[in-house]
Structure 1
Amino acid sequence: MAGFGDLRFRAVTSLQRNVVNPLARRSRSQTLLETTGRTSGLPRRTPVGGRRTGQEFWLVSEFGEKSQYIRNIRADPRVRVRVAGRWYDGIAHPLPEDNARARLRTLPRYNSAVVRAVGTNLLTVRVDLAD
């Protein structure tokens, strides 16, 4: 029998995959994380909430290692991030030792509230951006 966390994961990821993400990807103002599909080799764009600080971009994954984009990063950490309509190349670093709840307090408020509400396994990610 599936636990509550598994049911929440399936419900939220289904809603994100089928409704939220397709709509969000169309918005020029939406921040996107582009990874390379670990099986397909194709670019995979995921709407994310986060914040650029200097040459770093910070985000928190609500489902940690279960998130497809985290699994893609583990296979190939080279990513691109679209912030304010501009694309940046970078190298992503999942940081399980970081306090993800504390990190959320430094990121955009609305997205952080959603991540805290639905997340079951928070994981901080730092992207080192190229010039």
Structure 2
Amino acid sequence: MSRYRELKFRAVTSFQRRIGNPILTRLPHQTLLETRGRKSGLPRRTPIGGRRIGREFWLVSEYGEKSQYVRNIQADPRVRVRVKGRWYTGTAHLVPQDDARARLRTLPRLNSTAVRVVGTNLLTVRVDLTD
């Protein structure tokens, strides 16, 4: 990774971890992804943007396999997604063969724009919902 991309990654993730995520996770209608911490085993909630399409929920990770929630999915793909205040359980799948930029065009515009601007290694994630 180039020095610029590494600095960008550190700045954005630091902001998200310290300021953005603590605020957004408290908003009642913010879409959240809950994974299980790969080391602690504790639930980890991450504000995300994405869209439910039938029995699937689609999102794009801006940092691919470098994102902590993606690493948690790799360790345990069982997740929960909160959409419009309601929790759904499901199984997450990384979809590297998907065109993440094209996928962003089908997802909510504001989040998709932010992901395109700050992202350095886009990766599509599909959650197969079970309830």
C-alpha distance after superposition, 1:85-123 (max 9, x if no partner): 000000000111100000000000000000000000000
One-letter code aligned to 1:66:
K
Q: Which residue of 2 aligns with 1:106?
A: 106
SS of aligned partner of 2:107:
coil
Distance in 2 (CA, whole Å) between partners of 1:122 and 1:77 is 19
TM-score normalised according to structure 2 size: 0.98
SS of aligned partner of 1:80:
strand
SS of aligned partner of 1:6:
helix
State the identity as a percent: 72
Q: Which residue of 2 aligns with 1:50?
A: 50
C-alpha distance after superposition, 1:35-61 (max 9, x if no partner): 000000000000000000000000000
Distance in 2 (CA, whole Å) between partners of 1:103 and 1:16 is 23
Distance in 1 (CA, whole Å) between partners of 2:7 and 2:95 is 25
SS of aligned partner of 1:22:
helix
Q: Which residue of 2 aligns with 1:72?
A: 72
Distance in 1 (CA, whole Å) between partners of 2:98 and 2:62 is 14
Please provide the CA RMSD for this pair.
Answer: 0.6
* Misfit runs of 4+, over 4 Å: none
SS of aligned partner of 2:98:
coil
Distance in 2 (CA, whole Å) between partners of 1:128 and 1:29 is 21
Unaligned runs of 5+ residues in structure 1 are none
Q: How far 1:64 sits from its partner (Å)?
A: 0.3
Q: Which residue of 1 aligns with 2:10?
A: 10
Question: Counterparts in 2 of 1:74-93, with a 5 A limit?
Answer: 74-93=74-93
SS of aligned partner of 1:26:
coil
Distance in 2 (CA, whole Å) between partners of 1:66 and 1:11 is 14
TM-score normalised according to structure 1 size: 0.98
Q: Which residue of 2 aligns with 1:126?
A: 126
Distance in 2 (CA, whole Å) between partners of 1:61 and 1:7 is 18
